[in-house]
Each structure stands twice: as C-alpha cells, then as structure tokens.
Structure 1
Amino acid sequence: MDKNFLWGGATASYQCEGAWDVDEKAPSMWDVYLHENNLENGDVASDHYHHYEEDIRMMAEGGQNSYRFSLSWPRIIKNKNGDVNQKGLDFYHGILDACEKYGIEPFVTLYHWDLPQYWEETGGWLNHEVCGAFEHYAKVCYEAFGDKIRNWTTFNEPKWFVVNGYMIGNYPPGLQDPQKTMIAAYNVMYASALGVRVFRAGNYPGQIGIVHSYTPVNGVDDSIETKIAMRYADNYCNNWILDTAALGEFPIDLISVLAKDYDISFISTKELEIIKENTVDFIGLNYYSRTLVKPYTGGETQLSFNHTGKKGESKVLIKNWFEQVKDPNNETTEWDTEIYPKGLEDGLIEAYQRYHLPIYVTENGVGVREDVTVDEVKDEYRISFMNDHINAIMNAQDAGCDIRGYYAWSSFDLYSWKNGCEKRYGLVAVDFENGQTRAPKASYHWFKDVIASQGELIKRRNFN
C-alpha cells in the first residue's frame, strides 16, 4: 500500500453519539420514528458524545491514521430558518481537534440519514425545499470546519435510506410508494450536487465525494435475459447514484422505463444541468456483499430485509425487472448477508473502469452477536473477513485501480439501526450495559499489525 493510504474505522452520528437531546440538539426523524414506535433507539448508543477523546485515542493506539464519521444536521442547525447551534459546532470542533492531537485524518460525511424532524414534518425528501436547506447546512459546515477537513462527502448511501424509507417502508418515514421513492431519490441527488456546488464556489480546501452502498451485480448465467435483468438490477442498486454523482447523468434507460408508468414531470432541465456541472472528486464505496440475480419469472414486487438475525427473511424481487437469488455455495451471516470478497475485487475494478475516479472503501465489516463481558473478544471470524476483503482491494490495486483508503465498519460497537445493539461490528467492544466501557477485540490488534506492515501481513490469494 502507498504510505498515504488511509486506514481507519467508520461510524455515523445517530449510531454512536447518543446525547440525542443534549446541548440544544433538535430531534431527528430517527429520534421521533423510534420513540413513537417503541423501538430500540440510539438515545445513548455508544455515548461517543462523551467518549470521543477516548475513542479517537484508541484509534491512534491501534495504528489507524483516519476516522470516517458523520455530522448531525439537527445538532448543527436548530430550525427551518437555518439558525446555527454553536454548541453543536463546538462538539465537532472537539472531535476534529482530538483527531489532530492524535494524528488522525478526518473523513467527514454531511448526511448519514438523520434528517431534522422539523424538515421531515414538511415532507422530508419529498419536499424540494429540503434540497436548499441541505445546501445551507453544507455551507455552514464548510465555513466552520473547512480548515480542519480535507475529505468531505455529501451523502452516505442514498439508495439505502431512500429505498428503505419510501419504497420498503421499514425506515422512516415508513412509506411504500414507487412515485414518492422516485421524487425522494431525485431530490437527494440534486441536493448532493448543490452540496458540491457550494463547496466549489467557496474554494474550500480538499475534495468532495459521495458514499454509496455498493452491491456489484452478477448474473446466474450468460443468457441475454440474465444480462437484461443485470442491467435492471444495476440501475436499481448502483447506477442512479454513481452515474449521477460521478458522470452527472441519471441512467437514461432507467428514466425511460420509469416514465412508462410514473410521472417524471418533477425532473427539471435546469436542475439536471446543475447535476451535470457538479460531479464529485471521488467515490466512497461501502461494501458488504454483491447482488446475484436471475431474470424475472413472475409475481409482485417483494422487498424485505432481515432485522432479526434469523436467516432466510430477506427477499428482493422487482416485478418485470429481476429477482435476487442466493448462491448456496457461499456462507451468509445470520442477517442473510453473503460473504463474498471476490465481489469487492470485481466491483472495484468495474467502478474504476467506469468512472476513472479515486475510490475509498468507506465501509466494510461483518455484524455478529458477541459476548463482550469476556476479557477480550476473540473475533477470528472478523479477522478472516477483513483479511479477505483487504486482499480483494490489493488485487484491484494490482489491476490498476486507484484505491486510497479502507475503513472498517465500525470503529467500535454501536447502534445498528433497526437491528439494535445486538448486531456488533466494532473493532472495539462497547459494554452498553455496564458504563459504556471500551475494550479492544482481537481484530483491533490484528488490524494494527496489518497497518504497520502496510498490508504486507495480509494473506494473499487469487479469488478467480
């Protein structure tokens, strides 16, 4: 690996900070949704709000040179008028100063799903005004932190929060409406372009990108029917984010197909020009697994995901488009996620050849139930998982891909959205029940040694 390669872990504001109503923070849509539905919430989570110095020190002691985290819009902007909460800015200045103190490069996301409730009440991402509000929020952040941050991203995983929130209905706002899904998707990608535009207009230092929940698409065979299904799946899973952010254009075949059944009059020619003119400097790819598909064979659209950790609850079928299938030869987690490092290697090569932009692997990890009351969690399964996926990155680099960083999800155990706190991803164990104590897992020490060797300790193999 290059000596400038970024090695780190990643978190998200709602999933780790806690302090949900502290220091004049406004409620987020997740605060309200989880409270109203009596679901396990992130009110305390990992209490990073009060432990960030300890957490960042542990990152440095673990050899990491970067920390990917997100800012909380409702912690920074008080209301729809755009008034700034100085206490929120002060909190993030504290994190950034701790990063500088310990030699950690911050890699910062503006939006990791926690929309302010005051905007959700007006329609959330269905309300076009939210795009301008995001632009204002972004500018506030650039002005406040621009001298401390060199790597920015506008959004984390637009596909995931849009589809789950507006199509599947298992995330807030809990809708199941294809037309509204399209509107929300368009508004998010337009808002992202506005975030890029105001960054460039301000001549802030550094670079700006977007982070995508990347699932490279494979087919069950080489038939023309499967290739058509793969294109549908790729447009659904990847292209409407990456093509739009990196190339400045929504996939025209996707728009053409949707226009047959849905109203696309919300798309503005002027706004498409703004999207075209404000593409990203790099792409961040969160990789957990691929999407393996076969041609559509019948039935209504089904979109369901496993939040219980009981295998067999996931199903993805889009009527007339494609069906996702499982490869029986590959291992899956209790949450139905296929473990397939070759998908990362192939996907990195595919993305680099398509976009010719620098790539960061901004999330990669495995979630499991763990007993953290032991002296040290012996997470050999996580070490094996990380080894094979870092190996995949190195193979892609060998093939000529410009990959500049790897972030384990997650830096420490945190709240995993509707999976609660039992689904643990951290390199550091957090005892949520007993004083939020931190303890490095075996993977933390292994990762430190890998970083010190600049990847030379990775057990290499050819996945082909």
Structure 2
Amino acid sequence: MKYAFPDNFWWGSASSALQTEGTREGETTWDYWFAREPNRFHNGVGPQHTSTFYQHWKTDIQLLKQLNHNSFRTSISWARLIPDGIGEVNPEAVDFYNQVIDELNEQGITPFITLFHFDMPMAMQEIGGWENRDVVDAYARYAQICFALFGDRVLHWFTFNEPIVPVEGGYLYDFHYPNVVDFRRAATVAYNTVLAHALAVRAYRAGHYAGEIGIVLNLTPSYPRSQNPADVKAAHIADLMFNRSFLDPVLRGEYPADLVALLKAYDQLPACNPEDSALIAEGKIDLLGVNYYQPRRVKCRDSAVNPQAPFMPEWFFDNYEMPGRKMNPYRGWEIYEPGIYDILINLRDNYGNPRCFISENGMGVENEQRFIENGQINDQYRIDFISGHLAWLHKGIREGCNCLGYHMWTFIDNWSWCNAYKNRYGFIQLDLDTQQRTIKKSGEWFAATSLNNSFER
C-alpha cells in the first residue's frame, strides 16, 4: 500500500544542543553531575564532546540536505548563550547559532528551535532551579534575548522539550540531577515550568514576531489493563499526572480540575500566586510538538500503600505488562505503533484539533556494528519501526487530525544522558574515535520517503 502525505509535510529529525554540540563555556547540571558521579553514566562517558556538532555544523547540515530534510529541530543551550544564566551574552555563542540558523535556511531546511532541552545552567540550579521563581524570570529573559537575536529567521519556536522529564528524573525517580525524591518539590518544578513557558509565550506575542511558538511534550497514552472501573481510574490518574499536567495548561490555559483536587487532597499542591492563573491562560500555544516512544499500561494497585513511603504517582496505580507485547529489548520499551494514532485522535476530539507534528519518534539499538554490511549499517528494524508508526500517523491524518509533519530522533548517533552511547538512534552512524559520519540504510530510506512525500509498505 502507498502512503502519500499532505503537501508541505515536514520531514526531518530532532536533536538537542547538549547532546550534540560538545563542551560549552557555561557549566550545566550535566557537567556538574558527571564530574562528581561519573559512575552514573554508561561506561563513564559524559557530555564533553557528544557528536561535535559545534565543530562540524556545516558538513552536518550538508548531510541533513542529503537526507532530504526540509526541517530540523535542535535547541539553543542557555548555558552556552548566557554562561551564568542571568549575565552577559556570550558573543561566540551568538555567532555559532547565527551561522547554524543561516546555513539551515540557506539549504532550504526550516529551523525549529527549542529553548530548553534539560540543560539547566548550573548557576541557576545552585539557587534552586525551577523551584525558584527567580530562575523562572531568568529563563523569561533568556527567551526574550533569543527571540530578539534570532526571531527574524526562526519561525518555529518551542519553549521546552519534554518538561515532565526533569520533573520525573530530578525530583521523583532519581535519574537526573539533583536526584531528589519529593513529590511536592516535583509539583513545584512542574508548575514553575508552566509559568516559565507562559512568560516566554507572552514575550513572543509582545514582540510581534512573524512566526509561531509552541512546546514539545512527550505523550504516553495511558491504557488500562481492563475496563474494570478500578483499572480505568488508575489509567486516568496516570494520564492526569504524566500527560495532562502539561497538555491542559498549554492547550486549554488551565489545569484539569480533578488533578488539582487530587493533589489538594494529599496536600501536594505547589505554592500559587493570585496572578498565576491569568499568566497560564496566556500560555496557550500555536503549535504542539508530540514526542512518542512508548505507551503507558497500568492497572489498579494490588497492594496497600506503605504510609511511611514517600508520596508518589504509584500510590494510585501499578505498571502492567501486557501479554504478547512487542518490545525494544535494548531500551526496555514497548513498541506500540497505534499509540501515535490514539494521541492524534485524542487531540482531535478533546483539544480542538490543534496544529501539531510528531517532533520525536525513534528506536535505540545497542551495538549496531553487528549489522554492518558492505560498510553500512543495515538497520531494517528502524525502517520497519518508522514505517509502522507512519502508517498509523497517516490514518490519523486521513481521519482529520491536524498533524503537519514527522521528525525522527535523531540525525546522527548522539550522547543520550545517562545512557551515553549505549543505544544508537541516528540515521547516520557516528564513529566515536574518528567522528566519521556514515549514512545508515534507514537514512537512505528516509531520504527517499521525504523526496517522494510518500512510501510503500
């Protein structure tokens, strides 16, 4: 069957500053944490070099062109642009980002730019990070500076990438710095992130720029084990906490009443100011980026909660392993292609069918050198993964969903937080010793799909 996509569909990939650029002048939380606990990082590999985009940006953009990208998302590093988060702007960073943006536009590749992709300047974390409203104000200033510097040539802005992840990783489950386990502090971080987002949107609107502003959310559809009311309630609460805690504020301008009631009942609400609700209402977006990797399957709890344990989302549900599920064993994630369709239908039916696009979707595989044939990685498994998701995305578009594009994670194999280079995601293989780039079979497939605006399956 042939799957043809709408005219002007966005074909491309996504990356981030910290995961690709390499060493910067300003220290981030990742630099600080790695220096103190390198054992927390796979094979002791930190963020110093990543995929050296800072040195190879021009030839890398040529590779994007070779892959027939018409769009590409990356981020600006707050710590590179303003090393201490609040002070002087680094002119070398301005030159670098100007060159990248200009070259992308010159090559006919539309830049999509994210302002924050997990890389908090350490100077900002030292005063409390997103728990401190002074950091919220500093971020708003940083956003305004970016709009003023680059807003004449960047027409698609995103305030945050996956803002739930620093909440989960840094304040609930101990997989990001500052390694806190405290739900109330997590709720404060999430809430203040929404305020920071809304301030950036306000600044963008005030500047009357020609483009649009949005946010990128990783949406994990919550599926109950069964239609038993207890399972359905468990899935609803998981959805409230992990999806709607950001989705509702940015699309509806307010929080779900049942989420607020739940947190209030357990005395977990963050501190709110009277003027916050009007600000949050101003944060409604023009464009939603959807990152989709895996579903969330839950069931009601089988056991009572330990009253001495820290309050956690899992007080309300247990994770559920669906029999016969398809897995990516390297990442430990379920592969469930219809989830991408379910997300789009939910947006269509419950959120007014907003303008959106798939901003990340990808498959990380360990030791891909096993699959080298005639000097090239034959990653047919990645082609199958992408085409399977695109088929369900296509069905959503046919049924009226307002999805404008598909970006794969990622372009070149890059450094991936605590996993470092354990799993590879790229269309292009990166040799860590030589920094040589080699296009994989999936890159050739994607280039043809983008060129034809269609594929057959």
For 1:309, the equivalent position in structure 2 comes to none
For 1:330, the equivalent position in structure 2 comes to 325
1:299 and 1:43, CA in 2 relative to 1: closer, same or farther beyond 3 A?
farther
Letter in 2 for 1:238: N
Structure-to-structure mapping, 1:171-320, within 5 angstroms: 171-264=176-269, 266-300=271-305, 318-320=313-315
For 1:360, the equivalent position in structure 2 comes to 357
Say if 2:394 is the partner of 1:394.
yes
1:458 and 1:237, CA in 2 relative to 1: closer, same or farther beyond 3 A?
farther
- Unaligned 5+ segments in structure 2 are 307-311
Structure with the bigger RCO (C-alpha within 8 Å, sep 6+) is: 2
Whether the aligned pair in 1 keeps the contact of 2:427 and 2:442 (CA below 8 Å) is: yes
Whether the aligned pair in 2 keeps the contact of 1:296 and 1:323 (CA below 8 Å) is: yes
1:229-271 per-position Cα deviation (integer Å, ceiling 9, x unaligned): 1110101120011101111111121111111222536112211
1:91-122 per-position Cα deviation (integer Å, ceiling 9, x unaligned): 11111111022110001100001010100010
Task: For residue 111 of structure 1, give the secondary structure of its aligned residue in structure 2.
Answer: coil
Whole-Å Cα distance in 1 between the matches of residues 103 and 249 of structure 2? 35
For 2:367, the equivalent position in structure 1 comes to 370
For 2:383, the equivalent position in structure 1 comes to 383
For 2:20, the equivalent position in structure 1 comes to 16
| Of 114-123 and 245-254, the range deviating more from structure 2 | 245-254
Structure-to-structure mapping, 1:12-161, within 5 angstroms: 12-18=16-22, 20-21=23-24, 25-38=25-38, 39=41, 40-161=45-166
Task: For residue 442 of structure 2, give the secondary structure of its aligned residue in structure 1.
Answer: helix
Whether the aligned pair in 2 keeps the contact of 1:372 and 1:430 (CA below 8 Å) is: no
Whole-Å Cα distance in 2 between the matches of residues 150 and 168 of structure 1? 36
TM-superposed deviation, 1:319 = 4.0
Percent same amino acid at aligned positions? 33
1:391 and 1:263, CA in 2 relative to 1: closer, same or farther beyond 3 A?
closer
Whole-Å Cα distance in 2 between the matches of residues 279 and 319 of structure 1? 30
1:48-91 per-position Cα deviation (integer Å, ceiling 9, x unaligned): 11111111111111111111101100011132543211111111
1:372 and 1:57, CA in 2 relative to 1: closer, same or farther beyond 3 A?
farther
Whole-Å Cα distance in 1 between the matches of residues 75 and 9 of structure 2? 20
1:8-27 per-position Cα deviation (integer Å, ceiling 9, x unaligned): 01101111111x23xxx210
Whole-Å Cα distance in 2 between the matches of residues 328 and 165 of structure 1? 31
For 1:307, the equivalent position in structure 2 comes to none
TM-superposed deviation, 1:141 = 0.3
For 2:447, the equivalent position in structure 1 comes to 448
Say if 2:336 is the partner of 1:340.
yes
Letter in 1 for 2:236: R
Letter in 1 for 2:385: F
TM-superposed deviation, 1:34 = 1.4
1:182-213 per-position Cα deviation (integer Å, ceiling 9, x unaligned): 11011001100011000000001111111011
- Unaligned 5+ segments in structure 1 are 302-316, 460-464
Whole-Å Cα distance in 2 between the matches of residues 439 and 299 of structure 1? 53
Task: For residue 334 of structure 2, give the secondary structure of its aligned residue in structure 1.
Answer: coil
Question: RMSD in angstroms over aligned alpha carbons?
Answer: 1.4
Whole-Å Cα distance in 2 between the matches of residues 273 and 458 of structure 1? 48
Whether the aligned pair in 1 keeps the contact of 2:188 and 2:270 (CA below 8 Å) is: no
Whole-Å Cα distance in 2 between the matches of residues 72 and 402 of structure 1? 30
| Of 338-347 and 72-81, the range deviating more from structure 2 | 72-81
For 2:430, the equivalent position in structure 1 comes to 430
TM-superposed deviation, 1:299 = 4.9
> Which among 2, 6, 11 is matched to residue 7 of structure 1?
11
Q: TM (normalized to structure 1)? A: 0.92
For 2:309, the equivalent position in structure 1 comes to none
Whole-Å Cα distance in 1 between the matches of residues 333 and 20 of structure 2? 23
Task: For residue 111 of structure 2, give the secondary structure of its aligned residue in structure 1.
Answer: strand
Whole-Å Cα distance in 2 between the matches of residues 278 and 319 of structure 1? 29
Whether the aligned pair in 1 keeps the contact of 2:12 and 2:70 (CA below 8 Å) is: yes
Whole-Å Cα distance in 2 between the matches of residues 131 and 191 of structure 1? 5
Task: For residue 376 of structure 2, give the secondary structure of its aligned residue in structure 1.
Answer: coil
Letter in 2 for 1:452: L
For 2:408, the equivalent position in structure 1 comes to 408
Task: For residue 284 of structure 1, give the secondary structure of its aligned residue in structure 2.
Answer: strand
1:159 and 1:265, CA in 2 relative to 1: closer, same or farther beyond 3 A?
closer
1:101 and 1:265, CA in 2 relative to 1: closer, same or farther beyond 3 A?
closer
Letter in 2 for 1:441: K
Task: For residue 226 of structure 1, give the secondary structure of its aligned residue in structure 2.
Answer: helix
Letter in 2 for 1:370: N
1:399 and 1:193, CA in 2 relative to 1: closer, same or farther beyond 3 A?
same
Letter in 1 for 2:447: K
Whether the aligned pair in 1 keeps the contact of 2:301 and 2:318 (CA below 8 Å) is: yes
1:327-381 per-position Cα deviation (integer Å, ceiling 9, x unaligned): 2212211221001001111111112222221111000000001344941000000
1:165 and 1:299, CA in 2 relative to 1: closer, same or farther beyond 3 A?
farther
Say if 2:346 is the partner of 1:350.
yes
Q: TM (normalized to structure 2)? A: 0.93
1:300 and 1:378, CA in 2 relative to 1: closer, same or farther beyond 3 A?
farther
Whole-Å Cα distance in 1 between the matches of residues 16 and 315 of structure 2? 36
